[in-house]
Amino acid sequence: MRKSAVFPIRCGMILAVALASHAAIAEGLRPLARPADLIAAAAAVPGDAGPGGADEAATSAPAAPAAIPPDAVPAVLAAVSMPAADAATPVEATTSHCPPAAQGVHLGPVTCLVLPRFVSLKTDEGNVRRGPSLSHRVDWVFVREDMPLQITAEYGHWRRVVDRDGLGGWVHYSLLSGARTVIVDHDLQPLYARPDPESSQNALLEAGVVARLDACTLDWCRISAGGYRGWAPKTALWGIAADEVRD
């Protein structure tokens, strides 16, 4: 058996590892980098985005993650200045309508789902506001579709989220998807054929690649990106809880 050959590709491409007889290079994926994924913005006019805008996702927006083409360059969004709205933390609704939760488990007062929890961004443009309403100023704009986010609070139709770097705020729930994705945290992370570091490598992933999340054990997760699928240590990924297991 001949050894696998590694073909390094720069600028956020997946580094494919294949047999020399049929070596192939994986489709490119843009790595996470600022300010491309999260753009700081001045306050936007309240109610500036209706259905299909930056506060509500279009009904045709895909719910499942899609590969980001290598030539996709997020547009810089113009911001309109105005006085900031009251940024006081809202009083959350009661969870009395939710079923009893296990000890130490916190349920969201709106959905009765566990908090915190991971989701993904459904659109490539989403306003991140200082509070849960259109009257609150826009602090950030998420501009990377499918990026994983963590929900930390709920209020009406709004969810407070943070990204890998702990930045975020309140977004409309229609901008979020239950489809799970992860960000690769380690550069040139091997994608193994099995959850075993001694197994063969299907690909090498650059730090910042967004991948679709499949199954997870306590220590490993099966992910897919650019047409390649394999296993990576959970510690090399962001977007999955340390104790989370998925079938």
Angle at alpha carbon of residue 42, lines to 36 and 44, rounded to 5°: 105
Give the pLDDT score at 99: 86
| Nearest CA among 100, 98, 101 for reference residue 112 | 98
Domains of the chain and any CATH numbers:
5-30+184-235 (2.30.30), 33-46+53-65+105-179 (2.30.30)
pTM: 0.69
CB of 218 within 8 A of CB of 243?
Answer: yes
What b/e readout covers 167-204, taking b as 16+ CB neighbours within 10 angstroms?
A: bbbbbbbbbbbebbbbbbbeeebbbbeebeeeeebbbb
**Positions of the chain with pLDDT under 70:** 1-53, 56-95
Q: What per-residue confidence (pLDDT) applies to 168?
A: 94
**pLDDT of amino acid 173:** 97
User: Token pair for residue 31?
Assistant: 């790595």
